[in-house]
Structure 1
Amino acid sequence: MSKIVLTVDDSRTMRDMLRMALVAAGYTVVQAEDGVHGLEVLAGSNPDVIITDINMPRMDGFGFIQNVRGGEEKHRALPILVLSTESDDAKKQRARAAGATGWIVKPFDPVKLVDAVRRVAA
């Protein structure tokens, strides 16, 4: 059975790129358009890994990560990778403090993305 990845990004193009890279590597992908939608999708699915953007409307990635970590027990230890155009250390530290597992800078290399997902989903 393939592992499930939840991607949370407000860009349709980015969601499509993530889906292509992950499906080609054998993952099942569920998607959300922002943090609020991500929490709704998470409630109805059981992903093995989450990939989230930071800059999104309604609820940003930091708020999303904090909600996942403070939410249902079964989701508290889920690996969460941040995928963002942001790369400054303060934002990375803030994401780690919220509970992020790792950070990938956009634009992403599909091979490196899949490698990162494999590392945290093991």
Structure 2
Amino acid sequence: MSVYKILLADDEIALRFLLTETLSDEGYAISEAEDGQQAMEQLQKETYDLIILDYMMPERTGVEVCEWLRHSDNANRDIPVILLTAKALEKDKEKAKAAGVTTYIVKPFSPLQLIDTVGQLLQR
């Protein structure tokens, strides 16, 4: 059985730590990035099964990273992207959809909610 690889990009250290612990406990292999630029660099070096991006990050936002990815010839171009966002406004949802985000989770959320979402997307 192969281990699913997930790229987690979030500039909040505490949240990143919590999510990495939670997802690792579920058996996922997690790579971390602390901003959008780092996430893009990781995506150019590695292939993943799923990406979790925070909306508001330094350097590049999660939406910008997703938009870049979907329009690139990157090996990760078609994998599911989960956007973590404190912005639940309709216009932000539209922007995320237009950028190619698969689904988003509005903060605050429970780690269990994230695990459920990750599981559903990886089973597709």
Alignment TM-score, normalising by the size of structure 1: 0.94
* CA-based RMSD: 1.1
Letter of the 2:88 counterpart = S
Q: Secondary structure at the match of 2:75?
A: helix
Write out per-residue CA displacement over residues 48-88 of structure 1, whole angstroms, 9 at most, x where no aligned residue. Answer: 00000111111111111111111224222110000111111
Q: Partner of 1:106 in structure 2?
A: 107
Structure 1 unaligned regions, length at least 5: none
Alpha-carbon deviation of 1:102?
A: 0.2
Write out per-residue CA displacement over residues 25-54 of structure 1, whole angstroms, 9 at most, x where no aligned residue. Answer: 110000111111101111121110000011
Structure 2 unaligned regions, length at least 5: none
The alignment of Structure 1 onto Structure 2 pairs a total of residues equal to 122
Q: Partner of 1:90 in structure 2?
A: 91
What stretches of structure 1 move > 6 A for 4+ residues in a row? none
Q: Do structure 1's residue 19 and structure 2's residue 20 form an aligned pair?
A: yes
Alpha-carbon deviation of 1:107?
A: 2.1
